[in-house]
Amino acid sequence: MAKTAKIEVKEQGLIATMQGFCKTLLEKGGIDALLVAQHLPMKNVVMPTLVTDPTKLNGVDPLAPVFPINAAKVVSKLTRKPLAGKVAAVLRPCEIRAFIELVKLKQGSTEDVLLVGIDCLGAYSNVHYPRFAGQNGTEATLRFYQNIRAGKGTACQDFDLSPACKACEHPIPENADLLIGLVGVDINDQVLVQANSPAGEALLGAMGLMGTKEPPEGRKKAIATLVAERAAYRDQMYVETSEATADLEKLTAYLANCVNCYNCRVACPVCYCKECVFVTDVFDHEPSQYLRWAKRKGILKMPTDTVFYHITRLAHMSTACIGCGQCSNACPNNIPVMEIFRTIASYTQKAFDYEAGRSLEEEPPLSVFREKEFSELTGGKD
């Protein structure tokens, strides 16, 4: 059984408790640096920061309901070559799953990193979060959790959590070395800390948090309820998206606002190609080609290749998509990119009996030959 401890909250408050945890982790956890989200003075944004000085943790807020970047990309950059030090990364569940995919794709390593995961109750989009947070991001985080605890939900004014978060059936970071539990926990009283690996147990010991306490009564039920709600939203999203993109005409309409900015590719944590074919000469068409296409059809939508771009990305990335929603978060024209990627990924990953980010032990589809795979198509016997 995983070793569990708790951190008292009480008078100091939830954010101060998390800041104290991070400070103790950096001072006593045997690490050289801590990667954690902080409120920064520039427009009160929340971004990942790499901290080596414990006095620089005053703005720490990994619970803020905002998700401007999937930090798996940052951890990948830090670990793709020997780091000459140890880093603890405080991440959301989808960030951990994205990092696991990157490690399997040889874009990072677990050698020099300790993964600290936090139960995720969701985040607002980059556009909506400033409206929610106002001038005080820390107070907004506390308000977010207190509203949920009071049964008021997450809706605010005319917006709610991002669709990716509402459809995420993995709110608990079960594959983290150290798990910080919030679901089914009285966060006014305590925060759950659970070691899920030998490295996590060592961290608990180094921080003086060793204990054998059971998770709070009702945590399993609370997790099951949250997962069921999100799975229901996800399944309905699959149905609606499948219908909206059922043929080429519908797909073209679905992607009609695409301007080939490629923001979705840049924001995707597991889209790792150093050079994308769509920014090479392959798609740098001759001016006369556009005119020929226009003459053939009488009209030509510009820019071209938008649908082909997304189909190519779907073919390339659907086995690795972890559903974080950063593609939609980065889209300037509000195309529901996440919805189509998650929908297609659900079919692709089911076909390969694979779930992106589930385990380092599972080899990515198409990276290994299985003689009896898809025997219904090849005619082979099981």
pLDDT at 44: 73
Query: Which one-letter amino acid corresponds to residue 260?
Result: N
Q: Residue 53 and residue 2: Cα distance in Å, rounded?
A: 31
pLDDT in tens, 303-348: 888 999 999 999 888 999 999 999 999 999 999 999 999 999 999 9
Task: Tell whether the model's pLDDT for residue 55 goes beyond 70.
Answer: yes
pLDDT for res 1: 56
Q: Look at residue 240 and give its three-state secondary structure.
A: helix
Q: Tell me how far apart the alpha carbons of residues 170 and 167 are, in angstroms, rounded to a whole number.
A: 9
Three-state secondary-structure class, residue 310: helix
3 state SS of 180: strand
Per-residue pLDDT, 119: 97
- Look at residue 46 and give its three-state secondary structure: strand
List the single range of 38-47, 95-104, 193-202, 325-334 with lowest mean pLDDT.
Answer: 38-47
Question: Beta 46-51 vs 178-181: how paired, if at all?
Answer: unpaired
DSSP-derived letter for residue 215 is P
Q: What is the pLDDT of residue 214?
A: 75
Backbone angles phi, psi at 158, to 5 degrees: -110, 25
Q: How confident is the model at residue 231, as a pLDDT?
A: 97
Q: Tokens in use for 346?
A: 């659900």
pLDDT digits (tens, 9 = 90+) for 156-182: 989 999 999 999 999 999 899 999 999
Tokens of 232: 């229901």
pTM (2 d.p.):
0.91
Where do we find the tokens 């990953």? 349
Contacts of 310 (CB under 8 A, 6+ apart): 255, 258, 337, 340
Two structure tokens written together for 382 = 């099981």
What SS3 class is residue 131? helix
Distance CA 168, CA 121 (A): 10
How many other C-beta atoms can be found within 10 angstroms of the C-beta atom of residue 245?
21
Of 11, 281, 36, the closest CA to residue 178 belongs to 36
Find out whether the peptide bond into 65 is cis, omega within 30 degrees of 0: no
Per the prediction, the chain carries an average pLDDT of: 91
Calpha distance 93→61 (Å, rounded): 16
